[in-house]
Amino acid sequence: MNALVIAGVGVPLVTFLVLAVALWFGLVWTERVVSGLVVGAAALSALVGLALAVVCIVEGPSAVSLGTWFAGFPLRLRADWLSVPMVVLCGLLGCLIGAFSQRYLHRDPGYRRFYLLLALFVAAVQVVVLAGTLDLLVVGWELAGLASALLIAFFHHRPGPVAGGLRAFITYRISDIGLIGAVIAEHHRAGHGVVGLLLLWAVLGKSAQFPLGGWLPRAMEGPTPSSAICYGAISVSLGPYLLLRNGVDGPAVVAVGVVTALYATLVGRAQTDIKSSLAFASMTQIALVLIEVGLGWNVLALVHLITHAVLRSGQILRSPSLLHDHHHLEQSLGAPVPTTGRHFERLVPARLRTWLYRFALERGYVDAFLVDRLVNPLVRTVNRAAAAEDRWTTTVAANRQAVSR
Amino acid sequence: MIGPLVERAAELLPQQGPLQTFVHHNTLHAFEDLPFHDAVVRAGVLLGAEPFPSEQELHGYVEQGRITDADLVAVVVAEVADDGVPVVPGGPTRREFHTSRLRHLLDVPRGPALRWVLAEAGDLGPAWSALVAAAPRVVPTAEPTPRPADRVRAETGVDPDALVHPVLIRLTAAFLDQGVAYWPMPDRDRGLLAAFRALYGRAGGPPDRFLRGLGATLRGQERWDAERTVAWALTELEVPETEWGEAILATLLSLRGWAGMVRQFEVRPDRAPVAAPPARLVDFLAVQLTLDVFALRHVLAEHPGHGPVVEVTARPDVELAYEAFVLAELMAVDPTPDAAAWLALVADCDGLERRRLLHAAYERRHRVGVLDGLAAHQRMSTSDPSSVEFQAVFCIDEREESLRRHLEENTPVAQTFGFAGFFGVAMNYQGVHDVRPRPLCPVVVTPTHDVVERPVAPARGVLRRVRGGWSHHVGVGSRTLARGGLFSLALGAVSLTSLVGRCLFPRQAQRWSHQLDGPHPVTRLDIGYTVAEMAGIVGTVLRTTGILAAPAPIVLLVGHGSSSMNNPHESAHDCGATGGGRGGPNARAFAAMANHPEVRAALGLPDDTWFVGSYHNTCDDSMTYFDEDLVPSRFQADLARAKNSVARACVLAAHERCRRFETAPPDLALDDALAEAETHAVDLGQPRPEYGHATNAVCVVGRRSLTRGLYLDRRAFLVSYDPAADTDDALLTSLLQAVGPVCAGINLEYYFSYVDPARYGCGTKLPHNITGLLGVMDGHASDLRTGLPWQMVEIHEPVRLLLVVEATPARLAAILSANPGLARLVGNGWIQLVAWVPDDDAMFLFQDGTFQPYVPEVAEFPVVSRSVEVYAGERGHLGCAHVLAGVDLPVPVLAAAQDAR
**Mean pLDDT in residue range A170-190:** 92
Name beta bridge partners: B524.
Answer: B454
Q: How confident is the model at residue A168 (pLDDT cuts 50, 70, 90)?
A: very high
Of residues B186, B663, B767, nearest to A357 (C-beta): B186
Q: How far is A43 from chain B (nearest CA, A)?
A: 12
pLDDT of B895 reads: 34
Tell me how close the Cα of B468 comes to any Cα of chain A, in angstroms: 5
- Interface contact flag, A218 B771, Cβ < 8 Å: no
CB-based contact A270 B183, cutoff 8 Å? yes
Closest CB to B504: pick one of A99, A326, A327.
A99
Same-domain check for residues A252 and A287 = yes
Find residues 646-665 of chain B whose CB sits inside 8 Å of chain A.
Answer: 662-663
Do residues B550 and B388 lie in contact, with contact meaning Cβ atoms separated by under 8 Å? Answer: yes
Where is average pLDDT lowest: B85-89, B313-317, B645-649, B676-680? B313-317
| Nearest residue of B to residue A358, measured between CA atoms | B199
* B316 — pLDDT class (breaks 50, 70, 90): confident
Q: How confident is the model at residue A73 (pLDDT cuts 50, 70, 90)?
A: confident
Q: Is A139 within the bounds of a domain?
A: no
* pLDDT per position as a tens digit, B726-773: 888 888 999 999 899 999 999 999 999 999 999 999 999 999 999 999
Instruction: Check whether B894 has a pLDDT greater than 80.
Output: no
Residues A74, A111 within the same domain: yes
Residues in contact with B242: Cβ distance below 8 Å, sequence separation at least 6, in sequence order: none
Same-domain pairing of A178 and A101: no
Q: Which residues of chain B neighbour A307 with C-beta distances below 8 Å?
A: 488-489, 491-493, 495
Strand partners, B842: B837
Residues 443 through 482 of chain B touching chain A, CB cutoff 8 Å? 461, 464-465, 467-469, 471-472, 475-476, 478-481
What part of B 670-709 touches A (C-beta under 8 Å)?
683-688
Q: Give just the sign of the alpha carbon dihedral B197, B198, B203, B204.
A: negative
Are A52 and A84 in a shared domain?
A: yes
Cβ neighbours of A92 (radius 10 Å)? 23
Task: Categorize the per-residue pLDDT at B311 as very low, low, confident or very high, splitting at 50, 70 and 90.
Answer: low
Among the partner-chain residues A318, A324, A329, the one whose CB lies closest to the CB of B472 is: A329
| Predicted ipTM of the assembly | 0.92
The residue extents of the domains of chain B are 2-22+163-296, 32-140+314-364, 386-459+521-689, 467-512
CB contacts under 8 A, A 234-263 vs B, are 261-262
Whether pLDDT at A74 is above 90 = no
Q: Which chain B residue has the Cα nearest residue A355?
A: B199
**What is the pLDDT averaged over residues B41-59?**
94
Task: Decide if A273 and B499 are in contact by the 8 Å CB cutoff.
Answer: no
Question: In A, which residues are within 8 Å of B768 by CB distance?
Answer: 224, 320
- Strand segments, DSSP code E, in B550-599 are 554-561
Contact B685 A288 (CB under 8 A): no
Task: Answer whether residue A393 is part of any domain.
Answer: yes
The gap between the terminal CA atoms of chain A, to the nearest Å, is 74
Distance from CA of B472 to the nearest CA of A (A): 7
Sheet holding B427-430, edge to edge: B438-440, B427-430, B449-455, B523-527
In this structure, are A199 and A263 located in the same domain? yes
Q: What is the mean pLDDT of residues B196-221?
A: 89
Q: Quick one: pLDDT band at residue A335, thresholds 50, 70, 90?
A: confident
In this structure, what DSSP letter does residue B623 have? E
Does A247 fall in a domain?
yes
**Is A108 at the interface with chain B, CB within 8 A?**
yes
Nearest CA-CA distance, residue B780 and chain A, Å: 6
Q: Are the Cβ atoms of B478 and A311 closer than 8 angstroms?
A: yes
Cα-based distances in Å from A71 to A68, A75, A132, A179: 7, 11, 16, 20
Same-domain status, A303 and A350:
yes
Looking at residue B867, its amino acid is S
State how far the alpha carbon of A338 is from the alpha carbons of A341, B316, B479, B770, B793, in Å. 10, 69, 16, 20, 37
With an 8 Å Cβ cutoff, are A368 and B199 in contact? no
pLDDT (tens digit per residue) in B380-419: 865 556 688 999 999 999 999 999 999 999 998 999 999 9
The 3-state secondary structure of B286-302 reads HHHHHHHHHHHHHHHHH
Residues of chain B found within 8 Å of residue A350, distances taken between Cβ atoms: 186
In this prediction, residue B83 has a pLDDT band, given cuts at 50, 70 and 90, of confident
Side chain identity at residue B299, one-letter code: V
pLDDT band of residue A403 (cuts 50, 70, 90) is low
Write out the DSSP string of B106-148.
Answer: -----HHHHHHHHHHH----HHHHHHHHHSPEE---PPP--SH
What pLDDT, on the 0 to 100 scale, is given for residue B890?
39
User: In terms of pLDDT, which residue wins out, B559 or B458?
Assistant: B559
**Interchain pair A271, B180: CB under 8 A:** yes
Query: Same domain, yes or no, for A236 and A316?
Result: yes
A149 is a domain residue: no
Of B228, B197, B232, B231, which is closest to residue B215 (Cα–Cα)?
Answer: B197
When the pLDDT of each residue in chain B is averaged and rounded to a whole number, the result is: 90
CA separation for the pair A174, A206 (Å, rounded): 10
Nearest 10 degrees: Cα torsion B630, B634, B638, B643: 20
Q: What is the rounded average pLDDT of the residues B689-701?
A: 94
Task: Find the CB nearest A274 among B488, B492, B770.
Answer: B770
- Furthest-apart CA pair in chain A: how many Å? 92
CB contact under 8 A, B206 and A358: yes
Residues 542-581 of B with CB under 8 A from A: 563-568, 570-571
Confidence category of residue B791, pLDDT binned at 50, 70, 90: very high
Asked whether residue A148 is domain-assigned, the answer is no
In terms of domains, do A123 and A208 share one?
no
pLDDT digits (tens, 9 = 90+) for B328-373: 999 988 888 888 999 999 999 999 999 999 999 999 999 999 999 9
- Whole-angstrom distance, CA of residue A220 vs CA of residue B445: 40
**pTM exceeds 0.90, yes or no:** yes
| The pLDDT of residue B889 | 42
Residue of B318, B314, B322 whose CA lies nearest to B140: B314
Confidence class for position A61, pLDDT limits 50, 70, 90: confident
| Whether A104 and B504 lie within 8 Å, measured CB to CB | no
> How near does any CA of chain B get to the CA of A105, in Å?
7
Q: Which residues 304-343 of A have a C-beta within 8 angstroms of B?
A: 304, 306-308, 310-315, 317-327, 329-341
Determine the structural domain holding residue A170 and report its residue range.
161-320+342-361
Contact B40, B28 (CB under 8 A): yes
Query: Residue B893 pLDDT more than 70?
Result: no
pLDDT at A235: 92
Residue in A323, A326, A346 to test binding to B, most B beta-carbons within 10 Å: A323
* Number of compact structural domains in chain A: 3
Do A279 and A232 reside in the same domain of the chain?
yes
Same domain, residue pair A210 and A268: yes
- Looking at the complex, does the CB of residue A297 fall below 8 Å from at least one CB of chain B? no
Cβ count within 10 A of residue B70: 13
Cα A73 from chain centroid (whole Å):
25
**pLDDT value at position B901?**
34
- Quick one: average pLDDT of B473-487? 87
Residues A255 and A226 in one domain: yes
Q: Is B832 on the interface with A (CB under 8 A)?
A: no
Given this model, what pLDDT does residue B654 score?
95
Chain centroid to Cα B698, Å, comes to 14
CB pairs under 8 A between A and B: 287
At residue B294, does pLDDT exceed 60?
A: yes
Q: What is the pLDDT of residues B799-813, one digit of tens each?
A: 999 999 999 999 999
Contact A341 B499 (CB under 8 A): no
* A206 and A168 belong to one structural domain: yes
Question: Mind listing the pLDDT tens digit for each residue in B101-148?
Answer: 999 998 888 888 998 998 888 888 888 999 988 888 887 776 778 899
Which residues of chain A neighbour B660 with C-beta distances below 8 Å? none
Residue A361 in contact with partner chain B when CB distance is under 8 A: yes
Element holding A241 (H helix, E strand):
helix A235-245
Cite the DSSP H helix spans in B547-608.
Answer: 584-594, 597-603
B497 at A interface, C-beta within 8 A: no
